[in-house]
Amino acid sequence: MKLSGVKGMNDVLPAEVGRWQEMEALAREVFALYGYREIRTPVVEPAALFARGVGEATDIVNKEMYVFEDKGDDRLALRPEGTAGTVRAFIEHGAYVDGPQKWFYLGAMFRRERPQRGRYRQFHQIGCEAFGVAEPLLDAEQIALLADYLGRLGVRTTLKLNSVGDGECRPAYLADLRSYLDGHRAALCADCRDRIDRNPLRVLDCKVASCQPVLEAAPRLLDRLCAGCRDHLAAVRAGLDALGVEHRLEPRLVRGLDYYVRTAFEFTSDALGAQAAVAGGGRYDRLVETLGGPPTPGIGFALGAERLALILEAMGRPVPPRGPAVFFVLADPAGATEALRLAGALRRAGVACDLDARAGKLKTQFRQAERAGARFALVLGAAEVASGEGKLKDLATRAETPVRLDELAARLGGPG
Ligand code: HAM
């Protein structure tokens, strides 16, 4: 029987993994600059956490979640996103007693969506969550962090910003939106009609062309915000302006998760096609309370790592090399013994090196050196052992430079 991976779940092979390591290392570096610390939560959580946190009426919970029964009758779910689990951990460990907290995570998420370019069933998010601060200054700082991160990778995106209101202004708006949409039912697609009662805000997000005239003329939450939400949005915008972060107000931006209040945002890229959002997030000031903790405001975002990798690839950004500094090519038994000894010394000095222990034809060994992604190759045989010298061959330029074998570690360990 031929076994293959699960549909929509991908392998990242060693040849591509350098890109992932670069994204992850930069996230750790940049997030730390802004005071975020890493949290790791389980991939499996009680299914009820997401029903309560993300929302029973969302597609994520309703249609896309991988749910299974554990032996003890517990209903468990593969996490479809990172926020709910992070909030659960925040509450469970009483982290709220320590004042405001800034946390980040990297990890696999699971949604049973129809796979296409940029949309997978297992995908990876790089996310930040900040707890305990309701002030718009934090929104601006966190959005600027994400812009900073993407900017360092040279990625060009559009930042779309909106306010989705709060408990004071949203209910009246939703009632009006529902009755408006209900009045135009006949002009809407089946999905939209289905959502009018369940999740009317999501109707605004429909991309079907024939729905657009109705949606464009729909009442806008932006025009109906209460004073608190209006001021908050204005302050976030002023903060972004002060930080030089360009953004576009997008009155129809809604998010696929129910926990948001006030600030909602997405970073989109033209390089992605239909799945244009590379990152999305917003405020969730009621979520900690909804999940059983004390009232604690929060804001966060998550970035799709596969989508970011696609953008970097489309930009032609090279995968950072991860191969050994030098690959020893074994010309004879004396060379093989010397290679093993030298490799030990180099590795102790922290210099990555490798060799093909089969010690076959030189040509084959050079080919292996290239496949391994080595920077240099060095032929070792009785002659090199006798003279204590060899030639470092740069595999990219083919240039050869003489080197003393006992100086190899110093030479390759240095900068560059
Ligand atoms: P989300 O918008 O559902 O938000 O997902 C965030 C990002 O994850 C998306 O912008 C996209 O890049 C990526 N993503 C989502 N689904 C898929 C998929 N099926 N395949 C590939 N990439 C995908 C959240 O998950 C929120 N938890 C974000 C957040 C954190 N809000 C507050 N804190």
Query: What is the distance, to the nearest Å, from the Cα of residue 265 to the centroid of all Cα atoms in its chain?
Result: 15
Strand pairing report for 298-304 and 122-131: antiparallel
200 lines ligand 1 (CB under 6 A): no
| 10-20 average pLDDT score | 93
CA of 111 to the centre of ligand 1 (A): 10
What residues contact residue 135 under an 8 Å CB cut-off, 6+ apart?
none
**Residue range 23-33: average pLDDT?**
98
Please indicate whether residue 45, judged by its CB atom, sits closer than 6 Å to ligand 1: no
Nearest atom, ligand 1, residue 84 CA: 27
> With contact defined as beta carbons under 8 Å apart, do 111 and 121 qualify?
yes
Ligand 1, atom nearest to 127 Cα: 30
Query: Confidence band (pLDDT; 50, 70, 90) for 237?
Result: very high
Q: Each residue of 376-406: pLDDT tens digit? A: 999 999 999 999 999 999 999 999 999 999 9
pLDDT of 15 above 90:
no
What are 324-354's pLDDT values in tens digits?
999 999 999 999 999 999 999 999 999 999 9
Whether the CB-CB separation of 83 and 287 falls below 8 Å is answered with yes
Can you tell me the distance from the alpha carbon of 395 to that of 375, in angstroms, rounded to the nearest whole number?
Answer: 6
Q: What is the pLDDT of residues 63-119, one digit of tens each?
A: 999 999 998 879 999 999 999 999 999 999 999 999 999 999 999 999 999 999 999
Share of the chain above pLDDT 70, in %: 99
Q: How does residue 415 score in pLDDT terms, banded at 50, 70 and 90?
A: very low
Give the C-alpha distances (Å, rounded to integers) separating 218 from 53, 180, 203, 204: 28, 7, 10, 8
**Ligand 1 centre and the CA of 331: distance in Å?**
53
> In 163-304, which ranges are continuous DSSP H helix?
170-183, 190-198, 200-203, 212-216, 227-242, 287-290
Ligand 1 in reach of 50 Cβ (< 6 A)? no
Which atom of ligand 1 approaches the CA of 284 most closely? Answer: 32
Ligand 1 centroid to Cα of residue 326, in Å, is 40
Kindly list the domain boundaries of the chain, sorted by start residue: 14-169+225-314, 326-411
User: Would the CB of 85 count as within 6 Å of ligand 1?
Assistant: no
Ligand 1 centroid–CA 64 distance in Å is: 13
Ligand 1 centroid to Cα of residue 81, in Å, is 7
Q: What pLDDT does residue 238 have? A: 98
- Contact 146 CB / ligand 1 (< 6 Å): no
Question: Per-residue pLDDT for 262 more than 70?
Answer: yes
Same fold, 14-169+225-314 and 326-411: no
Mean predicted lDDT score pLDDT of the chain = 95
Would you state the structure tokens that stand for residue 63, as one six-digit string? 């249609």
Considering only CA atoms, which residue is closest to atom 29 of ligand 1? 301
pLDDT value at 416 more than 50? no
pLDDT tens by residue, 40-61: 999 999 999 999 999 998 999 9
Question: Is the C-beta atom of 78 inside 6 A of ligand 1?
Answer: no
- Burial of residue 348 (CB within 10 Å: 0-12, 13-18, 19+) is exposed
> Is residue 409 lining ligand 1, measured as CB closer than 6 Å?
no
124 pLDDT above the threshold of 90: yes
Residue with CA at minimum distance from ligand 1 atom 23: 304
**CATH code of the region 326-411:** 3.40.50.800
Work out the average pLDDT over 266-295: 96
Q: pLDDT, tens digit, for every residue of 286-325?
A: 999 999 999 999 999 999 999 999 999 999 999 887 889 9
Superfamily of domain 14-169+225-314 in CATH is: Bira Bifunctional Protein; Domain 2 (3.30.930.10)
> Ligand 1 centroid to 264 CA: how many Å?
13
Question: Could you write out the DSSP letters of every residue in 88-152?
Answer: HHHHHTTGGGGS-EEEEEEEEEE--PPPBTTB-SEEEEEEEEEES--SHHHHHHHHHHHHHHHHH
Sign of CA dihedral 85, 281, 213, 215: positive
User: How distant, in Å, are the alpha carbons of 371, 390, 403 from that of 400?
Assistant: 19, 10, 9
Identify which of 371, 394, 379 has the alpha carbon closest to the alpha carbon of residue 322.
Answer: 371
**Helical spans, DSSP H, in 153-211:** 170-183, 190-198, 200-203
**Mean of pLDDT values over 225-237:** 98
- DSSP state for residue 285 in the 8-state scheme: T
- Residue 403 φ/ψ region, left for φ over 0, alpha for ψ in the -120 to 50 degree band, beta for the rest: beta
